[in-house]
Amino acid sequence: LDETRRSVRDLRVAPLEHGRLAPALERLGRQAQLTHGIAVEVNVAAGQRPLPRRVADALYRMAQETLSNAGRHAEAKRVQLTLIAAADSVRLRVEDDGCGFEAASTERATAFGLLGIEERVQQLGGALEISSEPGAGTRVEIEIPLRHAEATR
């Protein structure tokens, strides 16, 4: 029951402070440290203009899912979360030192969290790359073109 409540609560609108993603990611990192015992380093190199709300919300949710996966499934001890915003795109990279997995496996294809990330990226016209191998951790890279995201507001 607690897990169901947590899942429903997590589906609510992302807790973005005045639409700003960076502080929300920093809070998310602290929360993952408390919940999963992971050392999370958050690096933000964001541009001056704010991201479209739907992009910021989606990036927050995808970061949340990758941190959750690192703690629950990968048994990671360290995670580095990096957000880089340029004039025409925004990139989110999450790297962990967990157990990794076979990136081409059918297990990945049936993982709801990864499927959700793939769907969000597709809806925003972006690109997703997942690199992982057993014993070598996992790297998730997401790039969202801002021109497409702004055109579909």
Q: pLDDT digit string (tens) for 84-118?
A: 988 899 999 999 998 888 866 645 544 667 888 99
Q: Which residue has the higher pLDDT, 40 or 4?
A: 40
pTM of the model: 0.82
39: pLDDT strictly greater than 60: yes
| Mean residue pLDDT across the chain | 83
For residues 116 and 112, give the distance between their C-alpha atoms in angstroms, rounded to a whole number: 6
Coil vs helix vs strand at 34? helix
For residues 76 and 73, give the distance between their C-alpha atoms in angstroms, rounded to a whole number: 8
Q: Which CATH superfamily is domain 2-151 in?
A: Histidine kinase-like ATPase, C-terminal domain (3.30.565.10)
89-96/127-132 β-pairing: unpaired
Coil vs helix vs strand at 22? helix
For the chain, which residues make up each domain, given as ranges?
Answer: 2-151
